[in-house]
Amino acid sequence: MKSIDIADLDCVFLTYDEPNREETWVKIKNMVPWARRVAGVKGSDAAHKAAADASTTDRFVLIDGDNIPDAKFFNLTLTVDEVCVYRWRARNHVNGLMYGNGGLSVWSKEFVYAMRTNEASDGATENDVEFCFYPNYYAMHDCYSTTYPNGSAFQAWRAGFREGVKMCLNKGARTTLQEFKDRVHHRNLDHLTIWHNVGRDVDNGIWAMAGARMGTYMTMITPQWDYCTVQDFAE
């Protein structure tokens, strides 16, 4: 273990098709002048590897394309393992949830290059649609950013749909209706309920709610649907 200053790390802004990405990029450059940008890489695994390629430091801060960090994050000192990833909570602008979805993260390049997830899954069920089940993936308690997944109706619907799928899974695996309440983590059930019901008062929030409900329906009621297609942002 050793201590590092967050401000000594490269910072990579990772964008795909977020409607407000250019506006967000200006805000991030004003906050973090040394930030770099990776744009338009298809596939979550490939995009993270492209972010690692863009970094000149062995560890780097990753900012999602719809995330606005708190400036105080860059004043932190972090005690790190050699090969790991840390993810902090983000506040969701649509429904007020605070958890790892869309949050700031610090990755080691060695971790990124070794992982096989999402479209490059190694065949382990827990890695088909998530990063978080690796043993050196650390979920941090504090919240240092706000995520804005509602720049358009489609972006909000997609964000809700993805969480509507993921919150139904037990370590990446689909459960039956009979197993659902016992095998899905209670925190995920709480989050899923909020995705389904909160956000109508926010721009495009109703689309996030509709997406979450449809993601849950597709996962739990239509077993012939391959839930792993949620890894593809174009779907």
Pairing of the two strands 98-99 and 85-92: antiparallel
pLDDT of residue 120: 57
Tokens matching residue 205: 């929030």
pLDDT of residue 226: 83
Query: pLDDT tens-digit profile of 89-100?
Result: 999 999 999 999
Q: Please report where in the chains the tokens 């719809």 appear, as a residue.
A: 66
pLDDT of residue 84: 83
pTM: 0.88
> Cα(171)–Cα(179) distance, rounded to whole angstroms?
13
Query: For the chain, which ranges sit under pLDDT 50?
Result: 128, 235
Tell which residue, 47, 106, 104, has the closest CA to residue 82. Answer: 106
> Cα(184)–Cα(57) distance, rounded to whole angstroms?
38
Tokens matching residue 9: 């790390």
Residues 6+ apart with CB under 8 A from 200: 206, 209
pLDDT of residue 29: 96
Tokens matching residue 24: 């967000």
Tell which residue, 38, 97, 31, has the closest CA to residue 64. Answer: 38
> Cα(77)–Cα(3) distance, rounded to whole angstroms?
6
pLDDT of residue 130: 59
